């Protein structure tokens, strides 16, 4: 079974708008990561946030982590058509790089 659940399942926005997707997970974690997947291809790492961090930025990406609520959010600012992809959160409960992925959010950015 999936460790995490992303919300919403699908999101459609206009180019230039911000996109926010959320992830909830079930057990305690050491770190949480977000990955991107273009249609049917391999996953690409976007950003990692450790359990003792609350917020992290990387370019147009902003990730927050609330371990008390077992939730994380990914914000993509000033979205571009090239951001169209599926986005997954992944949690590592055991520091063994054995990640459990959520169900994903499918983002469509309309030019």
Give the interface with another protein as residue ranges (CB under 8 A): 1-2, 4, 30-31, 33, 35, 40-45, 48, 50, 88, 90, 92, 94-104
Would strands 10-14 and 105-110 be described as parallel, antiparallel, or unpaired? parallel
Coil vs helix vs strand at 95: coil
| Cβ contact 74:93 at 8 Å | no
Considering the complex, what minimum distance in angstroms separates the CB of residue 15 from another protein?
Answer: 25
Residue 42 vs 111, nearer CB to another protein: 42
C-beta closer to another protein: residue 76 or 90: 90
Residue 48 beta carbon to another protein: minimum distance, rounded to whole angstroms: 6
Beta carbon nearer to another protein, 18 or 28: 28
Give min distance, CB of 21 to another protein, in A. 13
Residue 32 CA to its chain's centroid (Å): 9
Non-local (6+) Cβ contacts of 90 within 8 A are: 4, 32, 33, 34, 35, 99, 100, 101, 102
């Amino acid at each position: 079974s999936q460790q995490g659940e992303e919300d919403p399942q699908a999101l459609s926005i206009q180019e230039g708008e911000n996109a926010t997707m959320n992830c909830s997970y079930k057990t305690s974690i050491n770190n949480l990561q977000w990955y991107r997947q273009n249609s049917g291809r391999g996953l690409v790492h976007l950003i990692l946030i450790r359990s003792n961090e609350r917020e992290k930025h990387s370019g147009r990406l902003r990730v927050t982590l609330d371990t008390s609520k077992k939730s994380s959010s990914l914000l993509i600012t000033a979205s571009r058509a090239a951001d169209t992809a599926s986005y997954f959160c992944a949690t590592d409960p055991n520091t063994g790089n054995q990640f459990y992925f959520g169900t994903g959010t499918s983002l469509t950015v309309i030019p």
